[in-house]
């Protein structure tokens, strides 16, 4: 700074003869040396208010030979309107600033190795008083011997500012900050102060309690101040409960958490609070004690994780009563779960695994439920790799579960599953027991109960345990031996029923049939625990009035209920889980029975196809209706018998039975039956299947009467349609006139040889989706020929047998107008060779995503030959809609797309190793959407796209290893962005010669990216471009020229040209005049070069009007000078990185000089590892200071200014016929002082401060002339 001051005042004294004190400065000032301070004091001691940024100290760590050690002379300063920085000084205190009361912006105290206190700042009351500047700060950073901050005790406001105290090795307390208004603190950063133990300044305490709008970063200080919780604890704690998830990593964290929330007894489920107790990423102070958490008496958590601790118990967690998830993992010293006695429920998962010392689950004795909410949710009980675990007794109260998976794995000494007895088997979906070497007792009730229902979607295994628990067979044998008698159970009296309950109180599963036949039997309470049977259930000739004592959850045979004269109800006997019977259902001669309630969930009878009489309802004198059977669908080739039910009036309830699953029909002697026209009966009789109809009331007396009352619908009601072979065969029988299905259509288990879909051959329209997947095993889609429209998704996925799509020949549309997120997908069909059968499609319009992928035998797209238009969004283009063809390994051409003319969709060709011919796209003129050719290794050119003029989206050409040129794109004029990346054979891009536009309104996405093309030598072909959104040229190792960009004048977002190791010149950017930016892109654009071989930046000399930029010159080993960057506005350089340029010795161009003269934040620039003269910012600043007037003059023989120096008037002398556009004047720090439009022979500068200025003259033809002047 001393050189700047001497220069200014030398001319001031010579020009005016004034020797008294100077006027106050109004520009940023740096007092770099003690001499600067002394001189400043001598000149400005009458100026109590500084209207600028003031820096006291050196600009770099190297310091100066005359460091600042005494600022006592600055006592005249009372106010600084902008910022104050004290850095790299030799000061021991700040005595001299005792009259300073306010700083307008930030006050930073950095890198002062001798500073022990802030004495001198006792008068400071406010920082950030300049309210037009956001984010002021008090920064105390790297002052290694600073011991206290008490001098700041009168500071009361920061104006939404940041308190930052960092790297102060000797600081032990933040006393001195206590009087700052908490509401004026925006962010708090306190870190890396190794002796700091006291952070409980009142201002910080209040700010932490009420919350701040910015960041809180408190870390790596001494105990008591090592994190936010410790600080809050020392402040007396928060007033309420945590509102964010808490992670406790050390014992100090735990103790701090306890101290931080003294006023929070409970946390309720609504907060979805997650508590992580984990020492996974710490090296010491492991968590050993949670007892302090006992103050929380009611915790309902979303997630409780306890892992990588040194805990021996969980004492302290007694307040945890429920959680969605609990994970107890990798706690090497944990021996029990004592402390979780309050836990009663877990909603989703309980995982207790990898705890090598855990002996018992004692502590979770009160857990009663693991109950996933909703039918689509799942729950988990996982107990793995606890090698010393002895027993599971603490789980004995666990009963209520839903969709539960249980894992008991690799618990080496566990010998018994006792403890899991009482879990309700109805809620178990997976039960796995394995690799427990000593586990011999697995026949607990919950396991035994699920064995008989393995076919009811329960996954069950026992493997690699001790004998007795080494297989399902072993466990099943143990279940029956210990709990139930073997084989069939036959009970003929009430005494036998009662005796069974007394003898086998824990029996839940019978391995045979259950036969109950005794005239004195009046209750079945002795059988209340029986839930599963491997055979039939027969209840006959009893005096039972109900079956309420039974609760059968699984049955593997038939049900016969007959001769029970007092039986009024069979409700509750069968669980809602029972939907199918392998055998028959017979309800006969139960005179008091009025309804069939209890059978509401039966869908299938005779699933084994082994019985003749499937459903028999007869001789039930008081039975009035059949509505409880409304879910029944199939009898699987067995008889339907409804005879001798005197009170029965209607067969309503049998409507949904598939008529073709009935082998014979008998409806006889139902004396009051007048309505037998259930849908299934009508269809059955309408097809003249065998039937006996007689002895019923009028209306159902004969087949003709029944048919006369039938009113068969043309189509089934709306819903989802699952077609297996039975349903297909039945459909045309039941709905011969149906042409439209209102719902989704899927297929199931269609694998019979020679089968087809002919049951649907009348269907012309599917309102919903059509899914043809691996369950459709036919080799043909014959039967769908009349289908012409699909309103929803169309998917053909995983059909191994089909080779083409013949059978869909009538299809003309997919997706309805206004439908959203329609999927058209043909994928993973191993033998599909082409798409023939889709010739009826001409347009695909809507919010539709089209995917043809992973079909290894597909060689062409024949079948799409008539598609002319694909519009994925009817009114406005949607970014998520696409037409993608990918991972079809034998697709060699796009034959089939020959008619495609209009495409409003993203178009992607990816991972197509055989694709060599895209000529089928020859009719495409424009595409609205992105286009992507990626990993097409047989593609050598783009021949076939000659008619493509416009891509209203991005064009990506990436990783196509055989692509040599871009021939075929010769007529392409417009894209929004272009990426050419990693095309290993690409040698030239000359075919892009018609390309004139790479842009869109939002310039953030308008990029030209040419990266990783090792054989590309030049950018010839891009001469038509005049503007770009972004330019990125990277790692093209053969590239020697970018002259193809010679007509580009405007670039937005930025320029990055790096790692092009043979690029020696930026010739091609000669006409670049302007960097601009999208309004959506943030504050800066990039200007970055790093190519190793560049020798000059001169082609950038016309770049004069950039926005705010980030400048980078890195690893340019041939570059000697930054000449070319001269005309950048230094005010617009935000960051600068000039690094590792071994030959770069000349950096003192005007833009860099002006930037460094503005005293930028040292965190935002780095100059290092260059040649001498440009190796540090100090070297560059020194070189800038030695510039003479002549050195700064450019073309002064054409335009010159006189007199120079001047005090009042400055004359401009213009030689030749030059038209001046405007004149701009900058001070030596690069700040714009004045702008004058047009030519001016005389410029009055009398009101400008004395000093050195640069005058720039911009001509109407684009030339720029600059001269340095001195104003006295």
Q: How confident is the model at residue 383 (pLDDT cuts 50, 70, 90)?
A: very high
Residue 347 to residue 252: CA distance in whole angstroms? 31
In terms of domains, do 741 and 661 share one? no
Average of per-residue pLDDT across 341-345:
93
- Last residue of one domain, picked from the residues 884, 917, 942: 884
Percent of the chain's residues with pLDDT above 90: 46
1145, 1171 Cβ separation under 8 angstroms: yes
Same domain for 546 and 611, yes or no, is no
Is pLDDT above 70 for 1162?
Answer: yes
| Per-residue confidence band for 1105, with pLDDT thresholds at 50, 70 and 90 | low
Same domain, 717 and 704: no
Average pLDDT in the chain: 86
Q: Indicate whether 323 pLDDT > 70.
A: yes
| Residues 565, 648 within the same domain | no
- Could you tell me if 836 and 731 lie in one domain? yes
Residue 20 lies in a domain: no
pLDDT digits (tens, 9 = 90+) for 818-847: 566 788 899 989 999 999 999 999 887 767
User: How high is the pLDDT of residue 51?
Assistant: 85
Tokens of 287: 């968590």
Helices (H), 672-830: 679-686, 703-708, 725-734
Q: Do both 676 and 746 map to the same domain?
A: no
Calculate helix-pair angle for 34-44, 2-16, nearest 10 degrees.
Answer: 40
Task: Establish how many alpha carbons lie within 13 A of residue 371's alpha carbon, considering only the half-sphere containing its beta carbon.
Answer: 11
Mean pLDDT, rounded, for 1028-1039: 88
The residue among 921 and 1207 whose pLDDT is bigger is: 921
pLDDT score of 735: 83
Tell me: pLDDT of 1080 over 70.
no
| Interval 1232-1241 mean pLDDT | 80
* Residue that is last in its domain, among 530, 553, 578: 578
How does residue 905 score in pLDDT terms, banded at 50, 70 and 90? confident
Please say if the pLDDT value at position 26 is more than 70.
no
Q: Is the pLDDT of residue 536 over 80?
A: yes
Residue bearing the bigger pLDDT, 156 or 755 = 156
Whether residue 800 is found in the same domain as residue 845: yes
Query: Residue 126 and residue 157: Cα distance in Å, rounded?
Result: 5
Is residue 1259 over pLDDT 60? yes
> Picking from 26-30, 132-136, 379-383, 954-958, which range would have the lowest pLDDT averaged per residue?
132-136
> How far is the C-alpha of 962 from the C-alpha of 957, rounded, in Å?
12
Which pLDDT belongs to residue 575?
Answer: 62
- The first and second tokens of residue 648, run together, are 């029965």
Q: Would residue 1103 count as lying in a domain?
A: no
The enclosing H or E element of 40 equals helix 34-44
Which pLDDT tens digit goes with each residue over 860-882?
Answer: 999 999 988 887 654 344 445 68
Boundaries of domain holding 674: 594-712
Q: Is 60 exceeded by the pLDDT of residue 6?
A: no
- Per-residue pLDDT, averaged over 1176-1192, amounts to 65
Domain with residue 1224: its CATH number is 2.60.40.3080
Residue pair 963/989 in contact by the 8 Å Cβ criterion: no
- CATH code, 781: 3.80.20
pLDDT at 966 over 90: yes
User: Are 704 and 721 members of one domain?
Assistant: no
Residue 964 domain-assigned?
no
State mean pLDDT over 495-509: 87
Give just the sign of the alpha carbon dihedral 1012, 1018, 1024, 1025.
positive
What share of the chain has pLDDT > 70, as a percent?
91
Q: What is the pLDDT of residue 490?
A: 95
Q: What's the pLDDT score for residue 1193?
A: 40
In a domain, 325, yes or no: no
Cis-peptide into 1205, omega within 30 deg: yes
For residue 258, what pLDDT is reported?
Answer: 83
264 with 240: CB under 8 angstroms?
Answer: yes
Neighbours of 373 (CB within 10 A): 12
Higher pLDDT, 675 or 1093: 675
Residues 768 and 744 in one domain: yes
Maximum alpha-carbon separation in the chain: 137
pLDDT value at position 13?
A: 28
Domain C-terminal end among 681, 712, 743: 712
719 and 856 together in one domain: yes
Domain for residue 987, yes or no? no
Residue 801 located in a structural domain: yes
Give the pLDDT score at 299: 83
Domain-located, residue 861 = yes
Q: How sure is the predictor about 377, in pLDDT bands with cuts at 50, 70 and 90?
A: confident
Give the range among 335-344, 371-380, 1245-1254 with minimum mean pLDDT. Answer: 371-380
Residue 412 lies in a domain: no
Are 719 and 866 members of one domain? yes
Q: Summarize the confidence of residues 68-78 as an average pLDDT.
A: 95
Residue-wise pLDDT tens digits, 734-744: 788 899 999 99
What H or E segment, with its residue span, contains residue 666? strand 662-668
| pLDDT number for residue 10 | 27
Structural domains of the chain, count: 4
On whether both 789 and 696 belong to a single domain, the answer is no
More confident residue, 677 or 252: 677
Q: Residues 1004, 980: contact at Cβ < 8 Å?
A: no
Rounded to 5 degrees, φ, ψ at 717 are: -65, 160
The pLDDT value recorded for residue 1006 is 74
pLDDT score recorded for residue 586: 95
Q: pLDDT tens-digit profile of 1193-1215?
A: 433 457 878 887 788 888 888 87
Phi-psi region of 770 (alpha: psi -120 to 50; beta: other; left: phi over 0): beta
Q: How many angstroms separate the CA atoms of 490 and 612, rounded?
A: 24
């Amino acid at each position: 700074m001393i050189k700047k001051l001497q220069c200014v005042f030398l001319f001031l004294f010579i020009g005016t003869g004034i020797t008294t004190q100077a006027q106050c400065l109004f520009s940023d000032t740096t007092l770099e040396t003690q001499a600067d301070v002394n001189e400043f004091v001598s000149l400005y001691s009458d100026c109590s208010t500084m209207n600028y940024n003031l820096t006291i100290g050196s600009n770099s760590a190297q310091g100066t030979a005359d460091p600042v050690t005494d600022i006592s002379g600055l006592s005249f300063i009372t106010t600084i309107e902008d910022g104050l920085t004290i850095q790299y000084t030799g000061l021991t205190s700040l005595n001299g600033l005792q009259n300073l009361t306010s700083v307008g912006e930030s006050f930073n105290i950095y890198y002062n190795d001798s500073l022990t206190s802030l004495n001198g700042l006792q008068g400071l009351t406010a920082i950030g008083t300049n309210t037009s500047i956001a984010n002021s700060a008090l920064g105390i950073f790297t002052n290694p011997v600073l011991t206290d901050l008490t001098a700041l005790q009168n500071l009361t406001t920061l104006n939404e500012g940041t308190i930052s105290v960092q790297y102060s090795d000797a600081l032990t307390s933040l006393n001195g900050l206590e009087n700052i208004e908490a509401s004026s603190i925006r962010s708090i950063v306190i870190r890396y102060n190794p002796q700091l133990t006291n952070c409980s300044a009142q201002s910080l305490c209040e700010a932490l309690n009420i919350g701040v709008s910015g960041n809180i970063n408190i870390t790596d200080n001494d105990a008591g101040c090592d994190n936010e919780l410790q600080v809050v604890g020392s402040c007396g704690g928060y007033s309420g409960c945590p509102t964010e998830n808490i992670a406790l990593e050390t014992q100090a964290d735990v103790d701090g958490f306890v101290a931080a929330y003294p006023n929070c007894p409970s946390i309720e489920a609504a907060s979805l609070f997650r508590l992580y107790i984990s020492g996974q990423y710490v090296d010491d102070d492991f968590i050993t004690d949670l007892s302090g958490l006992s103050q929380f008496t009611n915790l309902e958590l979303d997630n409780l994780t306890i892992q990588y601790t040194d805990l021996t118990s969980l004492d302290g967690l007694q307040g945890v009563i429920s959680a969605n998830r609990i994970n107890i993992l990798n706690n090497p010293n944990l021996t029990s779960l004592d402390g979780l006695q309050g836990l009663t429920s877990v909603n989703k998962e309980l995982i207790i695994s990898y705890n090598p010392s855990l002996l018992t689950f004692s502590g979770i004795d009160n857990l009663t439920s693991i109950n996933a909410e909703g039918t689509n949710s799942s729950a988990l009980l996982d107990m793995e790799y606890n090698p010393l675990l002895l027993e599971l007794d603490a789980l004995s109260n666990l009963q209520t579960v839903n969709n539960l998976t249980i894992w008991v794995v690799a618990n080496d000494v566990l010998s018994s599953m006792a403890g899991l007895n009482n879990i309700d088997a109805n809620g178990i979906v997976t039960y796995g027991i394995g690799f427990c070497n000593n586990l011999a007792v697995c026949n607990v009730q919950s396991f035994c109960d699920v064995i008989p229902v393995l076919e009811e979607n329960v996954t069950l295994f026992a493997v690699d345990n001790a004998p007795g628990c080494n297989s399902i067979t072993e466990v099943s044998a143990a279940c029956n031996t210990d709990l139930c008698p073997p084989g069939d159970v036959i009970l003929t009296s009430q005494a036998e029923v009662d005796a069974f309950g007394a003898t086998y109180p824990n029996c839940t599963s019978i391995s045979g049939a259950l036969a109950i036949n005794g005239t004195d039997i009046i209750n079945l309470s002795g059988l209340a625990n029986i839930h599963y049977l491997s055979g039939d259930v027969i209840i006959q000739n009893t005096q039972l009035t109900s079956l309420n004592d039974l609760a059968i959850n699984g049955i593997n045979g038939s049900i016969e209920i007959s001769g029970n004269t007092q039986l009024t109800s069979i409700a509750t006997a069968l669980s809602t889980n029972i939907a199918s019977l392998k055998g028959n259902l017979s309800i006969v001669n139960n005179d008091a029975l009025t309804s069939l309630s209890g059978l509401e969930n039966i869908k299938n009878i005779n699933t084994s196809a082994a019985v003749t009489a499937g459903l028999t309802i007869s001789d039930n004198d008081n039975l009035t209706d059949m509505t409880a059977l409304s879910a029944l669908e199939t009898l699987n080739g067995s008889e339907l018998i409804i005879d001798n039910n005197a009170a029965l009036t209607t067969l309503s309830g049998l409507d949904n039975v598939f008529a073709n699953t009935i082998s014979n029909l008998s409806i006889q002697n139902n004396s009051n039956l007048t309505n037998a026209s259930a849908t299934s009966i009508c269809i059955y009789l309408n097809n003249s299947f065998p039937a006996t109809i007689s002895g019923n009331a009028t209306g159902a007396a004969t087949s003709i009467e029944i048919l006369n009352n039938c009113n068969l619908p043309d189509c089934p009601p709306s819903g989802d349609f699952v077609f297996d072979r039975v349903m297909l065969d039945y459909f045309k029988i039941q709905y011969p006139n149906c042409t439209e299905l209102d719902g989704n259509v899927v297929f199931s288990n269609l694998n019979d040889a020679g089968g087809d879909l002919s049951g649907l051959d009348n269907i012309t329209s599917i309102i919903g989706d059509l899914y043809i997947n691996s369950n459709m095993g036919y080799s043909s889609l014959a039967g769908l020929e009349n289908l012409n429209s699909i309103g929803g998704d169309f998917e053909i996925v995983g059909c191994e047998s089909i080779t083409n799509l013949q059978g869909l020949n009538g299809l003309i549309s997919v997706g309805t107008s206004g439908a959203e997120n329609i999927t058209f997908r043909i994928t993973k069909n191993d033998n599909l060779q082409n798409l023939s059968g889709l010739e009826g499609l001409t347009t695909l319009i809507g919010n539709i995503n089209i995917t043809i992928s992973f079909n290894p035998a597909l060689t062409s797209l024949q079948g799409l030959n008539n598609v002319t238009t694909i519009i994925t969004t009817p009114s406005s283009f949607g970014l998520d809609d696409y037409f993608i063809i990918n991972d079809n390994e034998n697709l060699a051409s796009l034959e089939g797309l020959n008619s495609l003319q209009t495409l409003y969709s993203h178009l992607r060709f990816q991972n197509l190793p055989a694709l060599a011919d895209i000529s089928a796209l020859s009719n495409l003129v424009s595409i609205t959407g992105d286009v992507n050719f990626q990993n097409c290794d047989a593609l050598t050119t783009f021949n076939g796209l000659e008619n493509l003029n416009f891509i209203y989206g991005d064009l990506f050409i990436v990783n196509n290893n055989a692509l040599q040129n871009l021939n075929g794109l010769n007529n392409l004029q417009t894209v929004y962005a272009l990426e050419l990346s990693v095309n290993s054979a690409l040698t030239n891009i000359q075919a892009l010669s018609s390309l004139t536009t790479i842009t869109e309104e939002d310039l953030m996405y308008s990029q030209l990216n040419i990266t990783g093309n090792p054989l590309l030598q030049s950018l010839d072909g891009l001469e038509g471009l005049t503007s770009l959104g972004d330019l990125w040229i990277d790692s093209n190792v053969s590239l020697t020229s970018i002259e193809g960009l010679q007509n580009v004048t405007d670039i937005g977002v930025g320029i990055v040209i790096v790692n092009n190791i043979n690029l020696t010149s930026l010739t091609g950017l000669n006409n670049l005049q302007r960097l601009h930016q999208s309004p959506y892109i943030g504050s800066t654009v990039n200007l970055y070069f790093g190519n190793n071989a560049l020798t000059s930046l001169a082609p950038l000399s016309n770049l004069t009007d950039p926005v705010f930029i980030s400048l980078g010159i890195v690893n340019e080993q041939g570059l000697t000078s930054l000449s070319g960057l001269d005309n950048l506005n230094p005010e617009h350089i935000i960051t600068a990185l000039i690094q590792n340029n071994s030959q770069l010795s000349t950096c003192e161009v005007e833009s860099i000089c002006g930037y460094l003269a503005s005293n930028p934040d040292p965190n935002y620039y780095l100059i290092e590892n260059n040649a001498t003269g440009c190796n540090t910012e100090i070297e560059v600043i020194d070189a800038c200071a030695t510039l003479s007037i002549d050195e700064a003059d450019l073309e002064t023989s054409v335009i010159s200014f006189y007199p120079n120096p001047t005090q009042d008037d400055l004359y401009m002398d213009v030689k030749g016929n030059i038209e001046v556009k405007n004149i701009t004047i900058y001070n030596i720090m690069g700040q714009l002082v004045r702008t004058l439009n047009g030519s001016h022979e005389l410029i009055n500068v009398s009101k400008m401060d004395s000093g050195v200025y640069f005058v720039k003259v911009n001509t109407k033809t684009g030339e720029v002339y600059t001269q340095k002047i001195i104003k006295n």
